[in-house]
Amino acid sequence: MEKLSPSQAVKAHCQECLGMNQFNRAEIEACQGNTCFTGPCSFFSYRLGARIPVKAFKKFCTHCNGGQASLIPDCPLTDCKVYPYRMGKNPARQGKGGNLFQKGREPMETGRKLMITDQCL
């Protein structure tokens, strides 16, 4: 399966959901968001290219799994267009950014020293 960006995955899902062989913007604009096979579409407001937060994928997958988020990690639908994003994380960003206090990293020095005086105590 080819790697898709989050917005490409949404477009591919819409295309598949509406039964189109190729992307047709007019048909996707006409979608009312209630024709999705899982019920009301979690991607409706992102279908025309608005930047989608990857957390929206977890919401979609939870809905697809009958409201049980615990089933998402073991989802058998590996050919689903949104499968790589099912956990609410972008696999392409794995290891980037992160918490300042991650294991093995020290906080950055700011150049300012904290002065403790008798007045502070």
pLDDT in tens, the chain (121 residues): 678 889 888 888 888 888 888 888 888 888 888 766 666 788 888 888 888 998 889 988 988 888 899 999 999 999 898 999 999 888 888 777 655 555 555 555 555 555 555 555 5
Residues in Cβ contact with 1 at an 8 Å cutoff, skipping those fewer than 6 apart: 78, 79, 83
What is the Cα Rg of the chain in Å?
21
C-alpha distances out from residue 45 to 15, 31, 41, 55, 71, Å: 15, 11, 9, 14, 25
CB atoms within 10 A of CB 31: 17
Conformation bin of residue 32: beta by default, left when phi > 0, alpha when psi is -120 to 50: alpha
Question: Domain residues of the chain, as ranges?
Answer: 6-93
